[in-house]
Structure 1
Amino acid sequence: MNLKPKTKIYLLILVMVSLFSCTTNKNEYIEKSGQPVDFVNPYMGNISHLLVPTFPTIHLPNSLLRVYPERGDFTNIELHALPLVVTSHRGSSAFRLSPFQGNESELRPVINYRYDQEKLTPYSYSVYLDEQQIQVDFGLSHQSAAYEFQFEKSDPAYLILSSRNGELSWDGNAISGYQLIANNTRVYVYMVPAEIPEQVSQLKENTLSEARSAKGRNACLVLKYPEGTSALNVRYGISFIDEVQAKENLKREVAGKSVAELQNIGRNIWNEALGKIDVKGGTNDERTVFYTSLYRCYERPVCISENGRYYSAFDGKVHDDNGRPFYTDDWIWDSYRAHHPLRVLIDSKKEEDILNSFVLMSEQMEQNWWPTFPEITGDSRRMNSNHGVASVIDAYRKGLRNFDLNKAYLACKGAITEKTLAPWSGSPAGELDHFYKKHGYIPALYEGEKETVPEVNSGEKRQPVAVTLGTSYDEWCLSQIAEELGKEEEAYFFKNNSFNYRNLFNAETKFFHPKDKDGNFIEPFDYKFSGGMGAREYYGENNGWTYRWDVQHNIPDLIKLMGGSQSFVKELDRTFTESLGRSKYGFYAQLPDQTGNVGQFTMANEPSLHIPYLYNYAGQPWKTQKCIRKLLKEWFRNDLMGVPGDEDGGGMSSFVVFSAMGFYPVTPGSQQYSIGSPMFEQVSVDLGNDIIFEIEAYNASDENKYIQSAMLNGVPLNVPWISHEAIAKGGKLTFEMGPKANKEWGK
C-alpha cells in the first residue's frame, strides 16, 4: 500500500556487500546455529522493485522502540547519523546521535558517515565508520537502548544529539528533551552518557556556543570529550508521555546493562517469539524467507504502554492502561487479511489486547468510530473501506473473548454508517453515503468530470468500485457480529447490504464496472487503464483485474455471477496470462503499486493475496498448489530484492508465513482456511496452553508441490480447506506430496 507523497518516507540503510556474498555467508552461519532468529535476514527486500522497500529494523517484538540505520536508499553510501527511535513503521526517525572526531568547524546537527562492516540482526547493530575510525555497537530493549563507541584517533571526541523540531537540555548528568512529530504528539528522550563531558555547547547555524539547552528546528547539543578518549557509552530511554517517564524506562530496562547483555536478552526474546512456529525441511533460503517474513509480522502494531500508562494521540491524554498493554500503529487495510489472523493463531492474548486497544481508541476519539489506520499520532483514516470490522469478527469467531464485542460493534457500525465511505477521509457521512444507502453502490464520475462532493479528500478520488466492494464485505462482517450479539434485525439488514457488489457486476464483461449516478455503466472503459493514476477514479491502487475478485465473503455467489465453476476458472486463468497491455514503463507509470506481475495478477499489493486460493472454490485445487509455489519461489527470495512490493510491516509477509505452512485465511470472519501447498516437511505451531498443531508434508520439495492425499488426525481429508476449530484443538494435518498434480484430490 502506497502512502503517496503525503507521508515523507525515510528509506533505510543496508549493508554494502554483494548480493551473492550476503546470502552465502548467511547460509553458512545458519548451518552452524540453526536457531530461528539466525534465519532472519533484515536486508531481504531492502531494494524495492518500484516503491517502498523493507527496512532493516532493529526492535523487539511489537515494541515501542524501533531503530534502523538511516540513509537515502540502499544504493547510497552514507549513513545519516544514528537514530534513537523510529516513530512509525515507515515514518521519520526522532533524535539523531552522531559520534565525531575532527575539526569543530565540521560539526553539524547530523553527520553523514561513510561506513563498512555493517552487521545487523533483529536485536543488534554494529558498524565501523571507516573515515571517522569509530566502531559503533548497539543493543536495545522495549523502550530503551544503549550505544557503545570506540574511537581509534586521539583527537577530542564529540557526541552530537539533535532534534528535528523540539528542545534539548543538559542537567549535568543527562540530556533530556522532546521532538514534535505530528498532531501535537511528542516523543521524549532521556540520554545518560557514562562519561561526563568536559564541555557542553549548543550548535546553531553551524556555530558552537556554550549553552545547556537548545530549542526549535534542528535543536542540537554537543558534548565534548578530551583528547585520548578511546570509548564512550550512552544509554537512553524513550517515552511518549514525558521526560520523567523516559528516565524511568531507561532505569527499568537498561541501567547497568552492557550492549552485549542487551543483545543477548534480545536474542532470547526473538527466539521465543519466532519459535512459536518451528519448521523443518526446505532449503536454507526457504527457511530464511520464512523466518524473515515472520520477523516482519512482529514489527507492528507497537505496545506504547509505559509502566502502566500510555499517551493516546486519539484524545491527547495520558491514560492508565489498567494492566492491559495498549497498541497502535496498525494499517488495517493491509493487516486484516492475514496479519491479524496469524496473530489469532500464535499470539491470541496479544490480539485480544490489540482489539481492546481499538475499542479504547474508538471511545477516545471525538466520534466513536473504529479506527482505520491507527498510528502513534492518531488515526490517519487512510485508504478505502473500514476493514477493521473483519478483525473483530474473525477473532471472536475463532474463540477470542477478552474484548468487548458490543462496544466494538457499535464503533464498527459507526465507522461504516456514520463516517463517510469516501476514502482517505474522516468526515461524517454525506452525499455519497446517502446515495450508497439508497442505491447500493457509490456512483462514479466520467473522465474529466469535476468532483463536487465535499467529503471526498481533495487529494484523492472517490474509488467507487473499491469502496462498494469493500463496504459489501464490511457489512457482511457487521451482520456476523450482529448475529453473535442476537441483533436479528440488524444482522438481516447488513447481510442484505453485503450483496451490494452485485450492483456493479457487468454480466457481459464479467468485471465489476463503475456506474454513474443514473445507473449506467461508464463507457468507454478499459479494465486495465481506466481510472487515472493508480486507477483511483474507479478502483484503488489496483485496476479492474484485481478488484474483479474482491468478494471475499461470498465466493460461491461470485462463481455463479461468472457463469459457474468452469467459466470462473477460465477467467482466473486469464488473470495470470493477460498481458500488461503496455510497456512496463507505461504500465507502472500509471499503476506503480501493481508490481510483482504474473499477467494481470500482482503479487505486490494486498488485495491480490487471496486470489491464487480461489481455484479451491471452483474444483481445481491443484492450480492453487501450482500457483502458490510459483509465487513464493519467484517473488519472495533471500536477497535484496526479495519482496515484490510494499510489505507494510507484516501485511504481505503474513501471506508468506501462512502459504509456506500450507493454508491461508481467504475470508477473515469465517472459521475456514483454504489449503495451498506446504513448503516444509514439518511445521509445528505453538497455539499456547500446551496445544500444538502439526503439519507434516511427506516428500515436500520444490518439485513435489502437489498434494496427492491428506489426513487430519488420521482421518482422510478430501476437501481443500480446514476449520479453525480443527487447528485450535491441536493435532496433525498430514499430506503426501508428489511431482504431478492429483486433479481429483479436493475436487
Structure 2
Amino acid sequence: MMIDKSILLLLLLVLTIGCSNKDVDSKRDENDLASYINPFIGASTSTDAAGVYHGLGKTFPGAATPFGMVQISPNTITGGDNGSGYSYEHQTIEGFALTQMSGVGWNGDLGNFLVMPTTGELKTSAGTAENPDAGYRSRYSKESEKAEAGYYSVRLDDYGVKTELTATSHCGIYRFTFPENERSRIQIDLARRVGGTSTLQHVKVVNENTITGWMKCPPEGGGWGNGLGKADYTVYFYAQFSKSLNKFGTWSADIPDGWSRKLEDVTSEPYQEVVANATLKEGITEEEGKHLGFFTNFSTEDNEKVLLKVGISFVSLEGAKLNLEEEIDGWDFSQVRKQAYENWNNALQKISVKGGTDDENTIFYTALYHSMIDPRTFEDVNNQYIGGDNLVHESENFTKRTIFSGWDVFRSQFPLQTLINPTVVNDMIQSLTTLARESGKGYYERWELMNAYSACMIGNPAISVLADAYAKGIRDYDISEVYKIARNTSEKSGNEEKGFTVRSDAVDSGSAGYAIGEFSISNTQELSYTEWCMSELAKALSKEEDHEKYLKLSQSYRNVFDSEKGWFRAKNEDGTWKEWPERGRLEEWFGTVESNPYQQGWFVPHDVEGMVELMGGREKVLDDLTNFFEKAPENMMWNDYYNHANEPVHHVPFLFNRLNAPWLTQKWTREICHRAYKNKVEGLVGNEDVGQMSAWYVLAAIGLHQICPGDLRYEITSPVFNEIEIQLNEKHTSGNTFMIKANNNSSENIYIQSAKLNGEPINRCYLNYKEISVGGILELEMGATPNMSWGLEHDR
C-alpha cells in the first residue's frame, strides 16, 4: 500500500513532538525500577581494556540484597588485582561463592564457600584458565549468562548444568538443573578465598541433608592486600541440600607446616599439585584441616533440580543456623528470588527519575543499585556481631556494618546516603565507633574490612563522614565519645607537627607494588580538609579552643604550594622541596596518591577561595581548569588531566560553580555522565570502589552534588533527567519529597536558563541542605546555549 508523503511527514512531526524532552523516552513500567538493573555494568577487571593497571569497574554480577551480608556470585579467578573474583572476559567459572567485594582495587578478599556442580570424575583442584580440564572449573555459555536484581544464572558447558543463584540478607540459595548422569555432584571448596586461602577449616555432617562448619581467614592466608590489609575473620556456615546425603565425603590437601600461604604461594604449581592430589575420604562425618573440601554424589534424571541453601555468620555456628531458619525456611527458590527483586524495587524507590532514554535509566538505576551494596550488615538476625576485641557483642539501636572504603566513599557515596539512607550512615558511624572502642585503638580506621584496621590509602575520611552527618542532623550516637575518637584520629594523623605531612602509615598499591607512602601533597591536602571538618564539629559543640586550632591547621595546604612553580609541590621531611620532575605537575605519584599534582592540587574543598587566590586569581584558574577538562580523552579513561577513573578529581567539575562559570559545571557534568558511564560491561571507566563511582553518577545525574562534605552547600548542575523525585527520610528530615524538574531538557538543551525554588525565582547555582530536607520543588528551564548571567555569585 502506498502512503502519501504528507502523512509520513505528519507522523514524523508527531514523533518529534512526543520525544521533545528526550531523544528516546523509556517505555518500561515506571513502578518496576528493578527491571533497569544491569549487574554486568562494570563487571570487568581487564587492564587491557582499561589501558592501566587499575583496570575497569571490578563489580560482580551475582545476586545480593540491599546492604546484605551475602553476595552469591560466579567466580572466575582467585588471585591478583581482581577483588570481585569475577571478570566478564574470562572464559571459565571455578565456582559460585557466597561473599564478594564490589569494585575494589588491590588484592581482594572474601569469595568464601565456593560451590561447584559437577559430573563425572571428582577433581579437587580448580585447574587453570589455560587448562580448565585439569580441575573442576568449567567453560560456560556466555549467551546463557543472565543477571538481574537479586538473581543470576548460567549454563556450565563442561557439565551441562544450569546454575541459578539468589539471596537474602544473610543467606544464599543455589538451584542446579542437572543432566541425566550416574555421577552428578555438588562440591564445596572450603579453603577458597579471593586473594589467598582460608588456612583452617572444619566441616561436620549433622543429618542426612545438613552440614555445618567454619573457615578461618587470617592475614597469613593472604586475602585483603595479600595479607597487608590485616583482614582476619571466620565464616561460619549452615548448609542444607534438597537431595539426601547418601554418598558424601571430604578431600584434604596435605599442606606442609612450613609452607607460606600467601596469594603467590597458593596459586603456584607446587601448591596446586598438592591440592589436586588431596586425600579423598568417603563417608567421613567430621573433619578439620588446612585445605578441605566437601562433596556429595548422587544420580540425576534429565533436568532434575537439586537445591542447596546456606546461611552464614561471622559470629557462630548457631548464628549461621538461625540466619538460615529465619530467612529461608523452605525450598521455594522462586519465592526467595521474587523477594530479593522486590527488596531492590523498594530500595530504588528512594529516587525515581523520568524522561531518560532506556540506556540512561539503566545506567542510573544500576548505579543506585551499586551504591547500596555496602556498607553491608555484619551482624546476625539476633543482632549479635563479632567485635574488634574478637568477642561477641549485641548491637543496640543500630545495625553493625562493615566495608568502609573511606578514601573513596566520603566524596559521593556517603553524601548520597545522607539523602536517601541516613540510617545507614548513622549505622556506619556507630560501627566505626564500636570498633575503635572494642579494639582499644581509640581512633577511626580509614579503610575498615571485617574489623581490620587495614590502613589502606590516606587521610581521615571517617571524620568527613561524621562531620557531614552531624551537620545534617544525623546524630543517633554518643557525640561526646564520637568527638573524642575523632579528635584522637586527627591527632594521630594530622598536620600539626610540621604544618605538612610527608609520610603516612597508609598501605597503598602503587605501580611498583605495595609501599608506605611519601605523598606530601595528597597527605597534607586531605588532612587539611578533615582538620577543617574537625573545626566545624568543634564549633557545633562549642569547643572554641579546638575550633580555632583545627581551623588554623586546615590552612596547612598552603605549605605545599610553591609560589615559584605556581602549583603544589612535593616536600621532603625536612621541609625542602623535592626536585621538580621533567613532566612537572603531570608526573604521577609525585607527592600524590594515584594521581599527579595537577589532579590532586584541586583538592581544597573547604577553602576554594583561598585556593583560587594562591593559584593566581579567578581568570587564571578558570583558564587552567578549562584546559584540565578539554585535554581529557573522549572516552574519559585513565589520563593525566580530568581523570574520572579515580577519586581525587570527583569534586572538580563542580568548581566552575564557585568560579562564577556555572554553565561549565553544567557542560562538563553532562559530558562526564555521557562519556564515562555506559550500559555495557566496560561501562565504568575506573574501579567502582564500593559505590563511589556509581554514587557520583547518581548525584550528578539528578543535578545536585557537594564539593565539600561537612558544608551544607549542594551545587546545582544540569540534570540528565526531566524529573527527579527524592524520597526523604522522615526520621531525619521534616519534608517528604524533594523534586527537581528540568523543563525542555534534552541532550542538546543542557544549560540552565533560569530556576525557581518552590515557585520563587532563584539566581544562584546552589542549594542549602536545609532547603532540600524540608521538601519542595526545584524547577529548571533548560536551553541549548549557556545563560552566562544565571547563577553568578559576587565577584572573586
TM-score range, shorter chain: 0.7 to 0.9
Matches within 5 A, 1:504-543: 504-526=560-582, 535=589, 538-543=591-596
1:95 corresponds to 2:113: yes
1:472–1:498 CA contact under 8 A, matched in 2: yes
Partner-residue secondary structure (3-state), 1:680: coil
> Offset at 1:87?
6.5
Partner-residue secondary structure (3-state), 1:97: strand
Report the equivalent of 1:439: 498
Report the equivalent of 2:454: 380
Determine the C-alpha separation between the residues in 1 that align with 2:292 and 2:26: 43
Unpaired stretches in structure 2, ≥5 consecutive residues: 1-23, 78-86, 128-134, 192-197, 219-230, 253-276, 509-513
1:218 corresponds to 2:297: no
Matches within 5 A, 1:49-448: 49=50, 50=52, 51-52=54-55, 53-72=58-77, 73-86=87-100, 90-104=108-122, 111-116=136-141, 117-164=144-191, 165=198, 166-173=201-208, 174-182=210-218, 183-204=231-252, 205-210=277-282, 211-226=284-299, 228=301, 230-312=304-386, 314-417=388-491, 419-420=492-493, 436-443=495-502
> Offset at 1:209?
2.4
Seen in structure 2, the aligned counterparts of structure 1 residues 412 and 271 have a Cα distance that, compared at 3 Å, is: same
Seen in structure 2, the aligned counterparts of structure 1 residues 104 and 42 have a Cα distance that, compared at 3 Å, is: closer
Partner-residue secondary structure (3-state), 2:215: strand
Amino acid at match of 1:193: F
1:214–1:221 CA contact under 8 A, matched in 2: no
Report the equivalent of 2:32: 35
Report the equivalent of 1:478: 534
Partner-residue secondary structure (3-state), 2:442: coil
Determine the C-alpha separation between the residues in 2 that align with 1:702 and 1:112: 46
Report the equivalent of 2:669: 628
- Out of 641, 651, 675, the position equivalent to 2:682 is 641
Matches within 5 A, 1:10-25: none
Determine the C-alpha separation between the residues in 1 that align with 2:493 and 2:602: 24
Q: After the TM superposition, which of the residue ranges 653-662 and 229-238 deviates more from structure 2?
A: 229-238
Partner-residue secondary structure (3-state), 1:175: strand
Seen in structure 2, the aligned counterparts of structure 1 residues 609 and 105 have a Cα distance that, compared at 3 Å, is: closer
Report the equivalent of 1:14: none
Deviations 1:152-209 (A, max 9, x none): 2232321112211312221223111111123541001110112212212122434532
Seen in structure 2, the aligned counterparts of structure 1 residues 597 and 307 have a Cα distance that, compared at 3 Å, is: closer
Determine the C-alpha separation between the residues in 1 that align with 2:502 and 2:681: 42
Seen in structure 2, the aligned counterparts of structure 1 residues 34 and 322 have a Cα distance that, compared at 3 Å, is: closer
2:61–2:152 CA contact under 8 A, matched in 1: no
Report sequence identity in percent. Answer: 27
Q: After the TM superposition, which of the residue ranges 605-614 and 106-115 deviates more from structure 2?
A: 106-115
Determine the C-alpha separation between the residues in 1 that align with 2:501 and 2:535: 20
1:293–1:653 CA contact under 8 A, matched in 2: yes
Report the equivalent of 1:8: none
Seen in structure 2, the aligned counterparts of structure 1 residues 679 and 456 have a Cα distance that, compared at 3 Å, is: closer
Deviations 1:609-660 (A, max 9, x none): 1101111111111111111111110111111111111111211111100000
Amino acid at match of 1:43: F
Deviations 1:126-167 (A, max 9, x none): 222233121222221000121122212232321112211312
Q: After the TM superposition, which of the residue ranges 651-660 and 514-523 deviates more from structure 2?
A: 514-523
Report the equivalent of 1:732: 777
Partner-residue secondary structure (3-state), 1:270: helix
Matches within 5 A, 1:707-746: 707-746=752-791
Deviations 1:373-417 (A, max 9, x none): 111142211111112111111111112121222222211111121
Seen in structure 2, the aligned counterparts of structure 1 residues 29 and 125 have a Cα distance that, compared at 3 Å, is: farther
> Offset at 1:331?
0.5
TM-score of the pair, normalised by structure 1: 0.87
Seen in structure 2, the aligned counterparts of structure 1 residues 32 and 719 have a Cα distance that, compared at 3 Å, is: closer
Determine the C-alpha separation between the residues in 2 that align with 1:29 and 1:178: 47
Determine the C-alpha separation between the residues in 1 that align with 2:206 and 2:791: 70
Determine the C-alpha separation between the residues in 2 that align with 1:660 and 1:454: 36
Task: Work out the number of aligned pairs and report it.
Answer: 683
Runs in 1 of length 4+ with deviation above 4 angstroms? 27-30, 87-90, 104-110, 453-458, 526-531
Report the equivalent of 1:462: 518
1:313–1:378 CA contact under 8 A, matched in 2: no
Determine the C-alpha separation between the residues in 2 that align with 1:415 and 1:526: 37
Report the equivalent of 2:18: none
Partner-residue secondary structure (3-state), 1:493: helix
> Offset at 1:253?
0.2
1:203–1:209 CA contact under 8 A, matched in 2: yes
TM-score of the pair, normalised by structure 2: 0.82
Unpaired stretches in structure 1, ≥5 consecutive residues: 1-26, 422-435, 445-452, 585-593
Deviations 1:575-619 (A, max 9, x none): 224589xxx9xxxxxxxxx97257611011111011011111111
Seen in structure 2, the aligned counterparts of structure 1 residues 632 and 227 have a Cα distance that, compared at 3 Å, is: closer
Amino acid at match of 2:245: P
Partner-residue secondary structure (3-state), 1:461: strand
1:308–1:322 CA contact under 8 A, matched in 2: no
